[in-house]
Amino acid sequence: MKPTVAPFPAARLRRTRKSPAMRALTRETSLSPNDFIWPVFVMAGRDGEDPVASMPGVKRRTVDRVAAAAREAYALGIPAICIFPYTAAADRTEDCAEAWSPNNLSNQAIRAIKDAAPDMVVMTDIALDPYNINGHDGFVENGEIVNDRTVDALVKMALAQAEAGADILGPSDMMDGRIGAIRAALEGDNHQNVSILSYAAKYASAFYGPFRDAVGASSALSGDKKTYQMDPANSDEALRLVQRDLAEGADMVMIKPGMPYLDICRRVKDTFGAPTFAYQVSGEYAMIQAAAQNGWLDGDKVMIESLQAFKRAGCDGILTYFAPAAARLLG
């Protein structure tokens, strides 16, 4: 139905903009700390932090520091945290066995966060790239990233994370069939209440560069990820992928990156009505931070405006490195 508006001067659309109170009263979308999942990087050691040079304000933290940060984030009203490991070179192998070790960095962090902030929702990443000597999300055989063998490994990774206490599993690998395989394994291993937030529409984007620095994958990556991540030129394909993952047992779906793909967010939400999330990825964050540090933009205002864009596009929540700063501003 097309909107109808009375002719001027009966309709003066500026009337509802005349004061902060009127603007608040007629605002179409709302933004609060409840909308955020905060991605954090965990590293080995104790009581330590390392800044990520390409992501101003973002740090790698040891497990104990991640747990303390989670407690502080929960106090700010942030309901969920997502763990990404910075894996030592010695733990990156051809067989990726560290990925499903019960005591790997991610699983240590899950348990530590649950001890420090029991009500914080803990989300994980499921992909082999932090543990793969080739830097890819799947096993590499004769130059090909193979699908089915990788899915078997992802299932083992998912079960280890569920056993450690993860609330949400985030398969970010883009292998075919992995959602169905993970869901079946969770059901069979008495983890029926563990949710899956599928990276259903993950594009082969140039916006991931700073993230790969943060997890130490830049130097490890051989080639690119275009045979399994989506072509940035495609839109209809995203709907097919989302439909498949929901049918296989995903509870929620993700579009990644975020701002360059707001059209996909809107199409997915309008088409399926399922809980829809976007990831404001490292490159998006780094651009805003760099411009703010150079005095070219008002960093706080642009941060909030960028986050509002996701809600306006239909997203139910956002993974964002801005989560603590935005939560403080929003009160």
Residue 244, φ and ψ in degrees, nearest 5: -60, -45
Beta carbons of 116 and 122 less than 8 angstroms apart: no
Of 135, 236, 154, 224, the C-alpha closest to 196 is: 154
Residue 85, φ and ψ in degrees, nearest 5: -90, 140
Of 146, 175, 170, 141, the C-alpha closest to 158 is: 170
Of 180, 186, 184, 169, the C-alpha closest to 244 is: 180
Q: What is the set of active-site residues?
A: 202, 256
Q: Which amino acid is at 324?
A: P
C-alpha 305/C-alpha 322 separation (Å) is 12
Helix H segments across the chain?
20-25, 63-75, 105-116, 148-164, 178-188, 209-214, 236-248, 262-272, 282-293, 299-312, 323-330
Residue 147, φ and ψ in degrees, nearest 5: -90, -60
DSSP states of 109-150 as a string? HHHHHHHH-TTSEEEEEE-STTTBTT--SS-EETTEE-SHHH
C-alpha 182/C-alpha 156 separation (Å) is 9
